[in-house]
Amino acid sequence: MERTAGRLADGRQIIWYDADGTHRTAVADRRDLPTTVTGSQLRRDPLTGEWIAVASHRQSRTYLPPADECPLCPSDDHLSEIPSPEYQVVAFENRFPSYELNAEAPDATDGLDTASSASLPRPLDPHLEQIRAGRGRCEVVCFTSDHNASFAQLTPQQARLVVDTWADRTTDLNAIDSVQHVFPFENRGKEIGVTLQHPHGQIYAYPFIPPRAATELAHAQAYQQEHGRSLFGDIIASESAAGTRVIAENAEWIAFVPFAARWPIEVHFYPTRQVPDIPALDDAARDGFVEVYLDVLQRFDRLYDEPTPYIAAWQQAPAREHRDVAWLHLELYSIRRGEGKVKFLAGSESGQGAFVNDGLPEGMAQRLREA
């Protein structure tokens, strides 16, 4: 893999990734872009302890442009975010980031009513109103220059280049002092909320360990202390032995519908050997992932007449914590619950975080095996 770094017109970093060793020269961005101004901040929810990002500048981000104005296609007559006439895989800093490395520490009165001149603004209560700069990084990863493709339609060679790109970006982002957790993911489909149809994913480099990762790691740590074994490893062994929920596997990876699946369609992918993150995968494991992942994605799209919307969420070790207990895996799930029907995260899921699955995981596993 060869990488070529450059800068966009407003100073954001862009990196081209090429699998064939072709030497590339960074192409100048000819757009007249204003300097990106962000105001990302974090506010702590005192009821849950979770950090909530506030990034009001994202309200103006691009929304479902026509194909001939796609900002992720190569630049020709239409100048895009990628200033070159072709590319294989590209990663660049998001123009509308939720987190930003240069975010300034918020003023203690940010967001409070300061219109009254009768008194000074009320200071924040440190027990209830904790606020700090959202110093992280958000990147976009374009999987292919083909606007009408999807990840499932990539060749194994193209998909492997995406895996290598994820690994490279994880290594770079983990090295940033303010970053605690790197999360590559893909949102696919308008039903999920995708605002750009071009096949792409994102990477969030959080300045904290996000709730889902923290919960999984806490349970894994407790299980290790109680049983002296890896929770993840035992899950893999149990699913492999039962076989009823396994969708696909090879010598390097196993993909299965989890025993307590939350989503109408949900598949987890695990390497058969424990590694903390994507950079730790060797060549055989990266090739093995591509084989199993493309297989399952293609099954997703054969379930219904329309392509299945999904979220693909990598769960990897934080940058500096829990790396001994973590076991890299990917969680793939869809809100599609039937032909033309989606599951909304309504009262129970949104109000209490208590999921209700309308179907048996074993039944969905059987449908995916038959697809």
Torsion 246-243-271-157 (CA) sign: negative
**Would you state the pLDDT for residue 117?**
42
**Would you state the pLDDT for residue 55?**
84
Nearest Cα to Cα of residue 261 among 333, 319, 191, 164: 333
- Is 147 annotated to bind ligand? yes
DSSP letter for 309, please.
P
DSSP letter for 82, please.
B
Q: Which residues are catalytic?
A: 200
pTM of the model: 0.93
**Would you state the pLDDT for residue 195?**
84
Domains (ranges, CATH) in the chain? Answer: 2-110+124-206 (3.30.428.10), 211-370 (3.30.428.10)
**Would you state the pLDDT for residue 58?**
56
**Would you state the pLDDT for residue 60?**
54
270 vs 35, 82, 93, 321, CA distance in Å? 41, 33, 29, 20
- φ/ψ of 283, rounded to 5, equals -60, -45
**Would you state the pLDDT for residue 108?**
54
**Would you state the pLDDT for residue 27?**
87
**Would you state the pLDDT for residue 63?**
60
- Average pLDDT of each block of 10 consecutive residues along the chain (371 residues)? 94 94 81 79 95 75 75 92 95 93 72 46 84 94 97 98 98 97 96 90 97 97 98 98 97 98 97 98 98 98 95 98 97 94 91 93 96 93
**Would you state the pLDDT for residue 243?**
97
Nearest Cα to Cα of residue 182 among 274, 319, 278: 319
**Would you state the pLDDT for residue 336?**
94
Residue with the two structure tokens 């096949």: 199
Per residue, the 3-state secondary structure of 154-217, as one string, reads CCHHHHHHHHHHHHHHHHHHHCCCCCCEEEEEEEECHHHCCCCCCCEEEEEEECCCCHHHHHHH
Per residue, the 3-state secondary structure of 323-354, as one string, reads CCCCCCEEEEEECEEECCEECCCCHHHHHHCC
